[in-house]
Structure 1
Amino acid sequence: MTQPKDHFFCGIGGSGMLPLALIVKASGARVEGSDRARDQGRTPEKFAWLEAQGIGLHPQDGSGVTRADQLVVATGAVEDTVPDIGAARRVGASIVTRPELLSDLFNRAETSVGIAGTSGKSTITGMVAWILDRAGLDPTVMNGAVMKNYVDPDHPFAGARLGRPGLFVSEVDESDGSIARYDPTVAVVSNISLDHKSMEELRDLFGGFVGRARTAVLNLDNAETAALAQVFADAATEVRTFSLENAAADLSAHGLTPLADGMAFELRSRAGLSLPVRLTQPGAHNVANALAALLAAEALGVQPEAGVRALESFQGIRRRLEVVGSRNGVTVIDDFAHNPDKIAATLKTLHAFDGRLLVMFQPHGFGPLKLMRTEFVDGFAGLLRPDDVLLMPEPVYYGGTTDRSVSSGDLVGDLVARGVRAEAHPDRAACGERLLELARPGDRIVVMGARDDTLSTFAEELLGGL
């Protein structure tokens, strides 16, 4: 892809678009953009910061797309109903999707690390970034979430690390099928489970991703990724495996010990290495994420000892079990969990310690709610304790023709029938009022959901309301 110098990002404030725009700008391109959230007055501090970086912002009405030499970057589907896309058609500007642009940058790098899987991608990407950074390899990193190690007053939205273009680390998405565009040097697959596509489609997509890599890092504790390890055992792709407790893996973790501020465990390699490890992130799932990151870094020449030292100072990813604060004996936690696997990991981690959970789960769309209704119900019913309470507003909805036949109320009805203390409320504000009414010392309020930056603001407001 020959890229014009001028790029216009439609939806530039999105968690996937913003860091990509910064990477493109660092290459010397002129960057402009628009965002519906800006037009609606949501997260104004983010857009003020983008303008301070020299990025021109326009209303999402087509007025910013005026020249044929602009490259208009769309989030996913190219829809003519979006004014910027319509304007691009009128002036003859080129149009690419975000996955097309990102995969082009990724595939042009001499060495690339693609991190995929239903859950854990953003955390593993952040861990790999920090390990390679500490090793002096200066990677360029594209993440779909803010990496706390790179946040400072001048960079509050650190979803990217701007390093040398020859080493590119990126989170890779399977939900839209774009994983098929990436040709990684190192392919990491954390796990595979039902999310946005059928299992048959997912097996094809992840299998192709692994088959195009020089080295694949696969999880033996997940049935689907363990099956991939068997499929590629005698293939040209070098397979490296990780596991919790299974010493047959190339790297395994033993003696997992939950701590108030993270996890401790013993790292063992099949070659005989044994190291104590301490993470500042809680939960067994983060131990698995660390193993994946260590193997990915080792494939690029960073030995596990150096990787472990880096991980001890890894601060985590924003909105991944992030403690907003505590007041009057109640702790508020902001979390990205939005599919059954992520929700299970969060609940298991939090239940390692005493205290009732008051969970507000905002589904990230009507489509996923319908697709995974049974899995959501089974997950919450199986993991919420009798005194926990689940509150749900309606799913995120920004307009369009989405099938809205399954609502949060339907899910709550299923859960109540299973004996779960669950309530449906018309909106998030009503959920907030109810959470504050229920909260008592010792409780933990957990705000769960994705694709909505204002959830973090909501969590902060809850803390203030306590």
Structure 2
Amino acid sequence: MTPEKPSYFFCGIGGSGMLPLAMIVQAQGATVEGSDRSLDQGRTPEKFDWLRAHGVTLHPQDGSGVRADHTVVATGAVEDTVPDIGAARRVGAPIVTRPELLSRIFNAAPTSIGVAGTSGKSTITGMIAWILDQAGRAPTVMNGAVMKNFTDADHPFASALIGGPDLFVAEVDESDGSIARYDPTVAVVSNISLDHKSMEELRELFGGFTGRARTAVLNLDNVETAALAQTMVAEGRGEAVVTFALGRVDADLSAHDLSPLPAGMTLTLTDRASGDSHAVTLNVPGAHNVANALAALGAVRALGVPMDQAVAALETFAGIRRRMDVVGTANGITVIDDFAHNPDKISATLKTLHAFDGRLLILFQPHGFGPLKLMKAEFIETFVGLMKPDDVLLMPEPVYYGGTTDRSVGSKDIAACVRAEGRRAEALGDRAACGDRIVEIARPGDRVIVMGARDDTLSQFAAELVARLRATHPA
């Protein structure tokens, strides 16, 4: 008798971390069902139509779709106030969190690459995926964002790549502490800075992550990751460390002679072990993407991919959706969609954009009241330090989905402090009001950057801005 397929119910299946995991589980032979608040609210309908077309049964997020034979997958916190979780408890269905399920699959692979760090994870994961794919390694990849190289008419939401069972690559999250669940063959850490947890907690989490790996790929340009490398050397594990840096000859992989292009970068790559140099042209902009490329090269080198082959693949890497995505240009005004949501990411984006002339109209939608309060000083310092005098910052209130979150620090607090330091900043009631203000003040030569996370409708907002600018700013 053939055993029945395992059956999973994903609560929040449309999320950037849940959808690719659901596709990987389905590819491994399970049946997949799910629910999503955005589905109930009529948001991003094309995503849910695509899921239905690919064999996923969708239900309202009211608990009605949960059965006893399901394994219910929760995004993070398992709270009975979520109807699907309450229903799972009533019918006796097992419940796992997304990190628990992903780490089980990850750890079961004979070879695995875990990509961690405050910033750059999705891009590095996408770069590694493309290099390994082009090298014929058939990786299975779990990313938190859409990888443009793998998108086509049938796969518009290519945040997962379905390959073989022997090599698994995944973006690994420290914000919820789940990084402690992963036992990677290769651990990549791009950088460590204040985001969701204290620095003491982060040092312990990242130290454990790299300590469990056969090889750790670490950034010497970041104080915290450089300290991890020093610790591993002091512990006698120096051979397990691959370092990378911009302009430093003491790193295993280093980049020199960086030159910005309108949509990319040129550089000279130096491999200290071989002494070889490679002229490289990336199709993604900014020095931060050069660092991301070095991290990816370090990871694949640890798996034996020849450097010249890896570089050739990297030069055809098309990027990650919502990572400085040019949505469109309307009468000389360019609209860019970007995932930047913490000080490090915002800093990288602003530095990249300011490599070329033009005023920036910055719409920043904070991804929560908690992070805004935790990093208030850092947000203010970043905007004050990197905005030019004629740039304009426009902020709606943070994303808020209900609950008991401390809402004592809001966008008005950030904008007021940025203004007090001589920069132009406005906090408006909602995102629609920010859009109206952008349409009102935009002029040819401006670049509008839409920044934020945890809200799929930001991309739709950016596209609508292009249409509005086209209609209201005649050529």
Coarse TM-score class (shorter-chain normalised): over 0.9
Please list every run of at least 4 consecutive aligned residues from structure 1 whose deviation after the TM superposition is greater than 6 angstroms.
Answer: none
1:248 paired residue number: 250
- Normalised by the length of structure 1, the TM-score is 0.99
Question: Is the counterpart of residue 288 in structure 1 residue 256 in structure 2?
Answer: no
Asked whether the equivalents of residues 4 and 70 of structure 1 are also in contact (C-alpha less than 8 Å), the reply is no
- Paired amino acid for 1:158: A
Aligned residue in 2 for 1:31:
32
Check the 8 A contact 2:5/2:31 in 1, yes or no.
Answer: no
How far the C-alpha of 1:420 sits from its partner, in A, is 1.1
| Partners of 2:165 and 2:114 in 1: CA distance | 14
- 1:438-460 deviations in whole A, cap 9, x for unaligned? 10000000000000000000000
Query: What is the CA distance between 1:4 and its match in structure 2?
Result: 7.0
| Cα shift at 1:261 | 2.2
Q: State the partner residue of 2:99.
A: 99
**What is the match of residue 17 of structure 2?**
16
Q: Is the 8 A contact 1:4 1:71 kept in 2?
A: no
- Give the conservation status (yes or no) of the 8 Å contact 1:215–1:299: yes
Q: CA RMSD in A?
A: 0.9
Q: How does 1:141-156 map to 2 (within 5 A)?
A: 141-156=141-156
- Distance in 2 between the 1:260 and 1:121 partners? 23
Match of residue 111 from structure 1: 111
Q: Distance in 2 between matches of 1:138 and 1:232?
A: 31
SS at match of 1:79: coil
Aligned length: 463
Report the secondary structure of 1:264's partner residue.
strand
Partner deviation per Cα, 1:227-265 (whole Å, 9 max, x = no partner) = 000000144470000000001000000000001220000
Q: How does 1:264-275 map to 2 (within 5 A)?
A: 264-271=266-273, 272-275=275-278
Question: 2:125–2:171: 8 Å Cα contact kept in structure 1?
Answer: yes
Q: Which runs of 5+ in 2 are unaligned?
A: 470-475
What's 1:57 paired with? 58
Instruction: Look up the match of 1:304.
Output: 307
C-alpha contact (below 8 Å) 2:112/2:168 kept by paired residues: yes
Instruction: Give the secondary-structure state (helix, strand or coil) at the position aligned to 1:277.
Output: strand
Residue 263 (structure 2) aligns with = 261
After TM superposition, give the deviation of residue 194 of structure 1 in Å.
0.2
What residue in structure 2 maps to residue 6 of structure 1?
A: 7
User: Structure 2: which amino acid aligns with 1:26?
Assistant: A
| CA deviation string 1:345-384 (max 9, x = no partner) | 0000000000000000000000000000000000000000
Identify the range of structure 1 (188-197 vs 299-308) with the bigger mean alpha-carbon deviation: 299-308
Mark the runs of 5 or more structure 1 residues left unpaired by the alignment. Answer: none
Give the letter for the 2:248 counterpart: N
The 5 Å alignment of 1:61-460 reads: 61-67=62-68, 69-233=69-233, 234-236=235-237, 238-271=240-273, 272-460=275-463
Amino acid at match of 1:385: K
Q: Is the CA contact 1:112–1:168 (under 8 Å) kept in the aligned structure 2?
A: yes
TM-score (norm 2): 0.97
Identity %: 74
Q: Residue 164 of structure 1 aligns to a residue in which SS?
A: coil
